[in-house]
Homo-oligomer: A and B are copies of this chain.
């Protein structure tokens, strides 16, 4: 019986990490924010009017993704510019790819 799904500690951690990542991006608002950011760095003031979200709500979703490491901030004058952390995006992109590898064709 294959045990690698659950009894191997490093695999369990990998899954729990992947699950957390999916909960981070498994939210309509955050997915839309990411979609905007894929187009390039944006400040909060550009994000929330376009997504029709409250400023504080937008900030809080940005903070969730920032804390997870999915995005970066850069401060300039009074503005905070957010951008995608490509390294982390790549990491999870590959984990997902691996998880689904036998189901793409």
Asked if A1 is at the interface of the complex by the 8 Å CB criterion, the answer is: yes
* CB <8 Å contact, A89 and B100: yes
**Complex CA–CA separation, A103 to B97 (angstroms):** 12
Checking B3, B31, B35, B86 against A103 with a beta-carbon cut-off of 8 angstroms, the contacting residue is: B86
Q: Could you list which residues of chain A lie within 8 angstroms of chain B, going by C-beta atoms? A: 1-6, 12, 15-16, 18-23, 25-28, 30-32, 35-36, 38-39, 50-52, 84, 86, 89-90, 92-94, 96-97, 100, 102-105
* CB <8 Å contact, B22 and A25: yes
Q: A6-B52, A20-B26, A23-B26 are in contact. List 17 more A-B contacts (CB 8 A).
A: A3-B50, A5-B51, A6-B32, A6-B35, A15-B31, A15-B35, A18-B31, A19-B26, A21-B26, A22-B25, A84-B103, A90-B103, A92-B100, A93-B100, A93-B103, A93-B104, A94-B104
